[in-house]
Amino acid sequence: MTAAGTTGASPLLEVAGLSVHHGQLQALHDVSIAVPAGQVHAMIGANGAGKSTLLRTIAGLHAPTAGSIRLDGRDITGLRPERRVAAGIALVPEGRRLFPSLSVEENLLIGASSRRTGEWSIDAIYDLFGWMRDRRRQRAAQLSGGEQQAVAIGRALAANPRVLLLDELSLGLAPVVVRRIYATLPQLAASGMTILLVEQDVSQALAVASHVHCLLEGRVTLAGPPARLTGAQIEAAYFGVSAASNGNGYGNGSPPGTPASAGPASAGPASASPAISGPAISGPARQADQPPGVHL
């Protein structure tokens, strides 16, 4: 019942015992996470760990083989994707997936088509991203990667979500653009929005999230507030080997952007290392589709 969600203690988004298969491949194994209202949680993990599968399953794009998804106490596991948008879940997919031949504003209006009532009018989105109003008639294809990412976020906001799912926000973007996009997230959380983001740049995730979950081959291997996690713990959870037993076990393969020592890290915007390919997992082709020198 929704009453459960009105107490501060109960999570707004609750995933319990989730398993998801892609054909024969089991991409998620018994995954459970709980995200309280107004918090930013980050999901980290190597390429192929199952991060996108988790977000897409929460959005209703994959059907789980076991487990449940609850929004404010209501079981939404069987809802169709568009009904989940209406219930308050919006996904910014990996790779943005705008309609390239439509204008900025037309893309935003698509997001608004099954909107809940709320503060995120198209005007409010233009206020958040200052440049967007002047360029609202431009085709999405003409925008830089960072601009497209902003429009993709705006399109999700246009639905007035309670839960915003962000998949690989920083992928392919210049660090300055990543910083600007990340700077909008605290504002969204302060407005009461619950955010679950997937990020390969661990440093970025630790800096913005109140709680980090690590996925390895479809299983949650670590979860907690960044201040309570050590770099060695994160490394072990990320790669699935004991960092403590062999401090140099990965060659130079620290999780991308992991700070040398844990803590509220922001020793500079170490961008995602291109070196990581993770152990023995070949995920879908990465989208290195951004032109160099993008700017927002």
Ligand X SMILES: Nc1ncnc2c1ncn2[C@@H]1O[C@H](COP(=O)(O)OP(=O)(O)O)[C@@H](O)[C@H]1O
187 versus 287: smaller Cβ distance to ligand X: 287
5, 11, 45, 231: residue in contact with ligand X (rule CB under 6 A): 45
Phi, psi angles (nearest 5°) of residue 236? -65, -40
Beta bridge partners of 92: 166
Q: Which residues are CB-neighbours of 140 under 8 A, at least 6 positions away? A: 98, 99, 100, 101, 102, 103, 104, 107, 148, 151
Which H/E stretch holds residue 266? none
**Residue 50 found at the interface with ligand X (CB under 6 A):** yes
**Residue 63 found at the interface with ligand X (CB under 6 A):** no
Regarding beta strands 66-71 and 13-22, do their DSSP bridges make them parallel or antiparallel, or are they unpaired?
Answer: antiparallel
**Residue 57 found at the interface with ligand X (CB under 6 A):** no
46 versus 158: smaller Cβ distance to ligand X: 46
Which two structure tokens, joined as six digits, stand for 5? 């969600």
Binding mask 165-184 for ligand X (x = CB under 6 A): --------------------
Scanning 49-57, 58-66, 234-242, 286-294 for contacts with Mg ion by CB under 5 A, the matching segment is 49-57
Which two structure tokens, joined as six digits, stand for 119? 């503060």
11, 42, 44, 52: residue in contact with ligand X (rule CB under 6 A): 52
55 versus 294: smaller Cβ distance to Mg ion: 55
Q: Which residue bears the tokens 């004991």?
A: 242
DSSP string, 17-76: EEEEEETTEEEEEEEEEEE-TT-EEEEE--TTSSHHHHHHHHTTSS--SEEEEEETTEE-
**Residue 53 found at the interface with ligand X (CB under 6 A):** yes
179 versus 286: smaller Cβ distance to ligand X: 286
**Residue 22 found at the interface with ligand X (CB under 6 A):** yes
Q: Could you say which of Mg ion, ligand X, none residue 77 binds, taking C-beta under 5 to 8 angstroms by partner kind?
A: none
Q: Which residue bears the tokens 């960072």?
A: 146
Q: What whole-number distance in Å separates Cα of residue 238 and Cα of residue 230?
A: 12
Residue 122 and residue 108 in contact, taking contact as beta carbons nearer than 8 Å? yes
Q: Taking the complex as a whole, how short is the minimal distance between the CB of residue 50 and ligand X, in angstroms?
A: 4
**Residue 52 found at the interface with Mg ion (CB under 5 A):** yes
**Residue 77 found at the interface with ligand X (CB under 6 A):** no
Q: Which residues are CB-neighbours of 292 under 8 A, at least 6 positions away? A: none
Q: Taking the complex as a whole, how short is the minimal distance between the CB of residue 281 and ligand X, in angstroms?
A: 6
**Residue 254 found at the interface with Mg ion (CB under 5 A):** no
Q: Taking the complex as a whole, how short is the minimal distance between the CB of residue 200 and ligand X, in angstroms?
A: 8
Q: What whole-number distance in Å separates Cα of residue 211 and Cα of residue 176?
A: 24
**Residue 25 found at the interface with ligand X (CB under 6 A):** yes
Q: Taking the complex as a whole, how short is the minimal distance between the CB of residue 283 and Mg ion, in angstroms?
A: 7
* Residues in 72-101 at the binding interface with Mg ion, rule: CB under 5 A: 94
Q: Taking the complex as a whole, how short is the minimal distance between the CB of residue 180 and Mg ion, in angstroms?
A: 22
Which DSSP category does 280 fall into?
Answer: S
* Residues in 234-293 at the binding interface with ligand X, rule: CB under 6 A: 283-284
Which positions touch ligand X (CB under 6 A)?
22, 25, 27, 45, 47-53, 283-284
Residues that bind Mg ion (CB under 5 A): 51-52, 94
